[in-house]
Amino acid sequence: MQASEAIRYSEGPFQPVIDKCEGCERVVEENDTKYCRVYIKPEAKWRLGICNFATHAKPEIKVVKVRINPLKASKRASRRR
């Protein structure tokens, strides 16, 4: 009986994942070859930087802390009403 999964990655235009995809939850394996569930060409995705769909790698996000004086903020909020 055929598996319920209708997509056949090896028969489509899908290209295998690259080393950087290792560990990503979107990797699917078919016939001992790993494919990406969301990208046809994983290699092209990584050429521009970190893949934005990667579940195992995240770009460094810099958090800039903005100091807010709570007193002034509440005054500003009440003025708007």
CA distances from 22 to 13, 27, 50 (A): 20, 8, 13
Per CB under 6 A, residues contacting ligand SF4 are: 17, 21, 24, 26-27, 36, 38-39, 42, 45, 51, 53-54
Nearer to ligand SF4, 50 or 73 (CB): 50
SS3 76: helix
Contact 55, 25 (CB under 8 A): yes
Nearer to ligand SF4, 19 or 77 (CB): 19
- Residue 61 CB, nearest approach to ligand SF4 (Å): 18
